[in-house]
């Protein structure tokens, strides 16, 4: 996507704080402006460093507190954001830039400033301190996950079905790692939540680990259902979104070429059928006589050309053409079907060969 732009003017600290406030409370305008401000990423880095400091300031000796927590937080943020960006680009089947994605990811860091309040300042009982730390960790994690889902929706333009897939996978990864470490991971969770390190309440930590295992089984079940449906539903939604994007002209000078190129890329991922079906649905639902109808039928031809049975493909395409195209008097629908099918296959083959040649020197 084309949201990578240069700053028209430098982002002031006061403006960065205002954007942060809007983003933390799910303001769409804040997300859009942050993606258009490349320099905002440096404010995000500063926010994450402060989050690491907030977690450690009351239990790390000086000067370690200035380096250990902030450095670990920043390294973890870069690693996790890279994994999520790669995964979500694969799910989306489209290009969107890493810097805006990283900026939005880093801007979730200030939620962790809540760790700055020591549990020992609120509770005297060690068990209560650990329980409070874990509860606070869950609250902060939930808030950041919701922000993550929100910016996937606004920036990457995911439909909600793909947003769900986009954050269930990383949640499952985290839960899987946490469950493998048993009591050790309970201690890590205690430290992440700002819990006191000198207190060892093993029964509470074991209960926390058990809850993680139970939650992991639940999330795994949801993930399985969503993933199974994703190839049928999310790619169809992507096709509709691609076709109706107001910033995309599919019928300009390079419109047909761009559409076929995208579909050829998605075909390699095994997604082209659902996407082409979504494009067809979006175009054909606009009514007869619309100039988009021909492009819709071209997408339908490509969709059907991916089928394993050529004879069945021709029959299905003829039915689609007969239903959606106003043919000239006396025209044979089978001839039109053959023409669309041949054109679609030829363009995709040419484009695929061109992409292979372009990819060759980089490999």
pLDDT 10s digits, 297-311: 555 555 555 544 545
Task: Give the residue with greater pLDDT, 60 vs 253.
Answer: 60
pTM of the model: 0.56
Domain residue limits, the chain: 13-241, 249-359
Give the pLDDT confidence of 318-329 residue by residue, as tens digits.
555 555 555 556
Rg of the chain in Å (alpha carbons) = 26
Q: What is the pLDDT of residues 210-243, one digit of tens each?
A: 555 555 556 555 655 555 555 455 556 666 666 6
Tens digit of each residue's pLDDT (9 = 90 or more) over 28-58: 899 989 988 889 999 999 998 888 887 777 6
Which is higher by pLDDT, 226 or 117?
Answer: 117
Q: Find the mean pLDDT for residues 201-218.
A: 56
Measured CA angle at 113 (ends 112, 118), to 5 deg = 105
Q: Is the dihedral angle over the CA atoms 76, 149, 250, 8 positive or is it negative?
A: negative
Looking at residue 38, the DSSP 8-state letter turns out to be T
Most confident of 17-26, 88-97, 153-162: 17-26
Written as one string, the DSSP assignment of 90-103 is HHHTS---HHHHHH
Q: Could you tell me the pLDDT band of residue 351, with boundaries at 50, 70 and 90? A: very low
Burial class (CB in 10 A: 0-12, 13-18, 19+), 188: middle
- CA gap 77, 103 in Å, rounded: 11
Buried b (16+ CB within 10 A) or exposed e, 337-349: beebbebbeebbe
């Amino acid at each position: 996507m084309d949201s990578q732009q240069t700053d028209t003017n430098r982002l002031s600290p006061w403006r960065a704080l205002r954007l942060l406030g809007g983003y933390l409370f799910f303001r769409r305008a804040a997300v859009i402006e942050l993606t258009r401000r490349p320099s905002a990423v440096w404010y995000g880095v500063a926010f994450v460093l402060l989050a690491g400091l907030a977690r450690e300031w009351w239990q790390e000796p000086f000067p370690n507190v200035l380096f250990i927590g902030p450095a670990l937080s920043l390294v973890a943020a870069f690693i996790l954001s890279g994994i999520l960006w790669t995964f979500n680009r694969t799910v989306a089947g489209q290009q969107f830039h890493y810097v805006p994605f990283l900026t939005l990811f880093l801007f979730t860091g200030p939620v962790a400033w809540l760790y700055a309040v020591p549990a020992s300042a609120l509770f005297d009982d060690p068990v209560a301190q650990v329980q409070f730390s874990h509860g606070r960790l869950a609250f902060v994690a939930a808030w950041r996950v919701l922000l993550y889902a929100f910016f996937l929706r606004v920036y990457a333009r995911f439909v909600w079905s793909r947003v769900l897939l986009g954050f269930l996978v990383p949640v499952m990864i985290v839960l899987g790692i946490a469950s493998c470490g048993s009591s050790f991971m309970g201690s890590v969770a205690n430290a992440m939540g700002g819990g006191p390190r000198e207190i060892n309440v093993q029964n509470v930590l074991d209960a926390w680990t058990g809850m993680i295992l139970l939650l992991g089984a639940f999330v795994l079940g949801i993930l399985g259902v969503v993933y199974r449906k994703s190839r049928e539903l999310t790619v169809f939604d992507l096709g509709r979104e691609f076709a109706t994007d107001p910033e995309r002209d599919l019928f300009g000078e390079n419109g047909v070429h761009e559409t076929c190129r995208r579909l050829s890329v998605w075909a390699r991922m095994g997604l082209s059928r659902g996407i082409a079906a979504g494009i067809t649905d979006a175009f054909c639902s606009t009514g007869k006589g619309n100039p988009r109808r021909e492009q819709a039928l071209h997408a339908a031809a490509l969709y059907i050309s991916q089928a394993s049975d050529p004879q069945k493909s021709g029959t299905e395409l003829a039915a689609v053409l007969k239903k959606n195209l106003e043919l000239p008097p006396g025209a044979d629908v089978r001839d039109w079907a053959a023409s669309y099918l041949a054109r679609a296959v030829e363009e995709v083959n040419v484009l695929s060969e061109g992409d292979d040649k372009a990819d060759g020197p980089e490999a």
